Amino acid sequence: MVSEVGGGVQSRERHAVVVGGSIAGLLAARVLADHAERVTVVERDRPSEADSRRSGAPQSRHTHVLLEGGQSALEAVLPGFMAELRAAGAPRVGMPEHMVQWQNGGWYRRTAATTHLHTGTRAQLERLVRQRVLEHSAIDAVQGTEVVGLVGDADRVRGVQLRGRDEGPRAEPRTLRADLVVDATGRGTKAGRWLTGIGAEPPHEEIIDSGLAYATRVYRDTESRLGTTALGYYMVPNPRQTLGAVVLPIEDGTYLATLSGLRGDEPPTDGEDFEAYAKRLPHPIVYDWMRASEPLSPVVGFRRTANVRRRYDLPGRRPAGFLATGDALCTFNPIYGQGMTVAAQNAVALREALTDPRRTPGTRRVQRALLDSSRLAWDISAGADKQMPGVWGNALGTPAAARPAGWYLARVQQRAGTDPVIGRAFRAVLGLNAPVTALFAPEVARRVLFTPVRPGADRPPLESEAAGGS
């Protein structure tokens, strides 16, 4: 438990409250259960076993991936979890072997997979996490309840104010005392208002908004064009070609198809117009697949895709005993598929900060550790969005010292699709499974600096190059 929490009184029960039943909140609760006698997860929704999609996660109907960095983090917090996820039928897609991918004007070679994505639905992953976490005897969930404020003052948080969602806004809130409060309420967090309400300062927010929007539809692959040597399609946008697409399998054997575009050119949510939008992509492969497949759902859109980083680590009057994690701390453009992975990595960072024998785990130190575990994802997501036309925000500047690295990384991206050595390192970093320094390893750097760009194939690679096929 964070050292300030408990105020030096060791005889009474220590209680932590986690606000939000998200993946980030549930994993934080599991970590805290090793340091507190009681952990309460406060959920505004009432997820059921039959359908664990939460209204508090409106993007749950869209494509989600669990990167390799998230797989290892989940396994660290919940041992055996990845075997459970595979047993539940979550598809496992090898990159680049199983993906027909267009990026930077060419097609990626489908060489042997060096990293894997789990592409089942967010609802499936969240349901399995919830089951595992709530099995712990110290963890309890309060559902259908909202936190409407904090209890305490600018020096220390001592609990939360609760109100049932069906009680109405005029109902008197009740107090739930706690030694530690963790905000895991996602991109819609109201923590700034809560902190102001007890005389503290909200965090400074860094914002980078490319204006990207996306829309998704469920399809059945009636002609079995996918699920053979290829398991997905991926067309990656860039500043010159701003439309994107991804088609990936989910656990019930169907596929999610997501199209993306920028502000003013958002993908439509009418079915016919949605498919017509795909015709504008650099190649008709996605459009042709859609027209040959059976749509199983309406088209749903999502437009809140700004990168937002809340800097609790910067100076300011903020209370002890209050932490933020997951999207409530650092929100990424969902198109990069980092959110679930970072939520799991935040939980690992929380555990390491609380158990580090060399340092006292004060609130600010623990919060800094959580932010640091989000840094690589922020650099990737925000860095890519900075390059898009029409981007706005208050964190767009690039320090002069970072420009040589930007030049180098551009060369990496130009070669990653056709050079297997560069591609392996590039995918490890994008999978949040290796630091950026992996791109500067001697063998990688030699190829980045001294080999010419090999042009990608001029047509989609429908067969894998890996020995024995897929």
Residues 199-226: tens digit of each pLDDT: 999 999 999 999 999 999 999 999 888 8
Q: In this structure, are 41 and 109 located in the same domain? A: no
pLDDT at 3 (0 to 100): 34
Q: Is residue 352 part of a domain?
A: yes
Q: Is residue 417 part of a domain?
A: yes
Confidence of residue 270 (pLDDT cuts 50, 70, 90): very high
352, 381, 410: which is the final residue of a domain?
A: 381
133-162, pLDDT tens digit by residue?
A: 999 999 999 999 999 999 999 999 999 999
Query: Taking residues 36-63, what's their average pLDDT?
Result: 73
Is pLDDT of 99 > 70?
Answer: yes
Above pLDDT 90, what percent of the chain?
84
pLDDT at 2 (0 to 100): 46
Confidence of residue 431 (pLDDT cuts 50, 70, 90): very high
**Shortest CA distance to 390 belongs to which of 260, 280, 263?**
263
447-456, pLDDT tens digit by residue?
A: 999 999 998 8
Q: Is residue 298 part of a domain?
A: no
Q: In this structure, are 439 and 465 located in the same domain? A: yes
Domain carrying residue 171? 15-64+125-208+305-381
Is pLDDT of 468 > 60?
Answer: no
Is pLDDT of 5 > 70?
Answer: no
Q: Is residue 222 part of a domain?
A: no
pLDDT at 12 (0 to 100): 62
Q: In this structure, are 450 and 432 located in the same domain? A: yes
Q: In this structure, are 47 and 101 located in the same domain? A: no
Q: Is residue 152 part of a domain?
A: yes
Task: Please tell me the total count of domains within the chain.
Answer: 2
Q: Is residue 78 part of a domain?
A: no
Lowest mean pLDDT: which of 395-399, 409-413, 414-418? 395-399
342: domain CATH number is 3.50.50.60
Q: In this structure, are 157 and 38 located in the same domain? A: yes
345-379, pLDDT tens digit by residue?
A: 999 999 999 999 887 788 999 999 999 999 999 99
Q: Is residue 263 part of a domain?
A: no
- pTM here? 0.93
Q: In this structure, are 103 and 142 located in the same domain? A: no
Q: In this structure, are 108 and 203 located in the same domain? A: no
Q: In this structure, are 311 and 457 located in the same domain? A: no
